[in-house]
Amino acid sequence: MSTDAHYTPYHPKWYRRRVSVWWWLKNRTYAGFVLRELSSVFVAFFAIVLLWEIRAVLEGPEAYAQFTARLQTPLFLALDLVAFLFVLFHAITWFNAAPAAMVVRVRGKRLPDWVVAGSNYVGWFLLSMVIAGILLRG
Amino acid sequence: MSRATSSTVTLEVTRYRPEEETEPTLQTYEVPLEQDWVVLDALNYIKDRQDGSLSYRWSCRMGVCGSCGMMVNGTPKLTCAAFLTDYAPGPIRVEPLQFFPIMRDLIVDVTDFLSKLKSVKPWIIRDTERPLAEGEYRQTPDELDAYQQFSQCINCMLCYAACPVVGLEPDFIGPASIALAQRYNLDSRDEGARERLDILSTHDGIWGCTFVGECTKVCPKHVDPAGAIQQYKLTSGLDSLKSLLLPWGAK
């Protein structure tokens, strides 16, 4: 914060504390926020794996077999599990935050938060069912 | 005042005397642990009985004036609403609101907040004032409901002390100012939304907010500044999308 305060005996200098590098460990909300921001790295990881898969499919069955074999190594299984947990955390905190950003009014009355968040979860569930249906059909 | 209990609680209070010392220190005081005492009562007890040199701000004692905000055990609180028994057996650490420059003991400099607040024009702006003869500007209960929550702000600055962006980005306009801008934007009598959007749809305005959400948690008046900022982002985003798609449309 800026001030133009000049130092005189009757107007002494204000004391400013530096913000610690570890500020985000000070409470749960801060830590949750930093984890949510960090989860974007794992969302990107899934996107890269998907691009990698597309390339393998285009290169033919041999490349695809190599791709799936590599995904089954312990390193990738562990990485996938961590990434999955982060993406889940990202999705849940995002849906829970939705009511704060979206004020939906029906006949002048604001819809309660759980309806706004709930509709996001229902949409997520339906979309997941459609994708599961497509994948499990064959 | 009658003493119902004989137990005491320790308060660790920030002292900073700029004419004597270069940085703040903690001083401990022992005060009676009364059922009906809040942290502010304990501070008043210290000032009256133990150490008259302790400096802090307070006024109404009932959560309306917004003067007595301090960090209590690391969380921004109105000290008139923070009961000692909730922190028993202590010790209770009382510090000035974080991210603000400290002037003396528990008193912080709020000049910067006041200039930020003023910059968002938190008052009703009209293109043309209606003649007095036409009477007052009437509102329906629904129109009142649209902004009433944001009008509850008492400028206590707890949300500034809760916001890491305020600490890390000194030019960020901050939660309460944006919530109050939104309070006037949503007022059916106001016509200043465009002016405020130009001030607030900037990096130092709404886009500086990373939605940590702690401002809403510490707000003693349930104003929900985090919600106000996210709603403002949505409005601003839709607005720039509109001007991109319909550049010829009237601004």
pLDDT for the residue B14:
97
CATH at B26: 3.10.20.30
Task: Report chain B's mean pLDDT, rounded to a whole number.
Answer: 92
**B18-35: pLDDT as tens digits:** 888 889 999 999 999 999
Give the strands of the sheet with B69-72, arranged side by side. B25-32, B8-15, B92-95, B69-72, B75-78
Identify the domain boundary among B50, B74, B108: B108
Identify the domain boundary among B108, B125, B158: B108
Per CB-CB distance under 8 Å, the chain A contacts of B170 are 1-2
> Are B118 and B130 contained in the same domain?
yes
> Are B119 and B104 contained in the same domain?
no
- Structural domains in chain B (count): 2
Mean pLDDT lowest among A5-9, B155-159, B222-226? A5-9
**B220-241: pLDDT as tens digits:** 999 999 999 999 999 899 888 8
Residues of the domain holding B55: 8-108
Q: In this prediction, does ipTM exceed 0.90?
A: no
Tell which wins on pLDDT, A41 or A137.
A41
3-state SS of chain A is CCCCCCCECCECCCECCCCCCCHHHCCHHHHHHHHHHHHHHHHHHHHHHHHHHHHHHHHCHHHHHHHHHHHCCHHHHHHHHHHHHHHHHHHHHHHHHHHHHCCCEECCEECCHHHHHHHHHHHHHHHHHHHHHHHHHC
pLDDT for the residue A113:
87
Distance CA B117, CA B178 (A): 8
B65 touches A: beta carbon within 8 Å: no
B237 touches A: beta carbon within 8 Å: no
Q: Which residue of A has its CA nearest to B224?
A: A100
Residue B215: pLDDT over 70? yes
CA distance A43 to chain B (A): 18
B67 touches A: beta carbon within 8 Å: no
Tell which wins on pLDDT, A99 or B81.
B81
Contact criterion met (CB < 8 Å) for A108 and B142: yes
Beta bridge partners of residue B25, listed in sequence order: B15
Q: Would you tell me how many other CB atoms lie within 10 Å of the CB of residue B177?
A: 27
B199 touches A: beta carbon within 8 Å: no
Contact criterion met (CB < 8 Å) for B145 and A15: no
Distance CA B212, CA B229 (A): 11
Identify the helix (H) or strand (E) that includes residue B103.
strand B102-104
Identify the domain boundary among B79, B108, B137: B108
B164 touches A: beta carbon within 8 Å: yes
Residue B1: pLDDT over 70? no
> Are B148 and B203 contained in the same domain?
yes
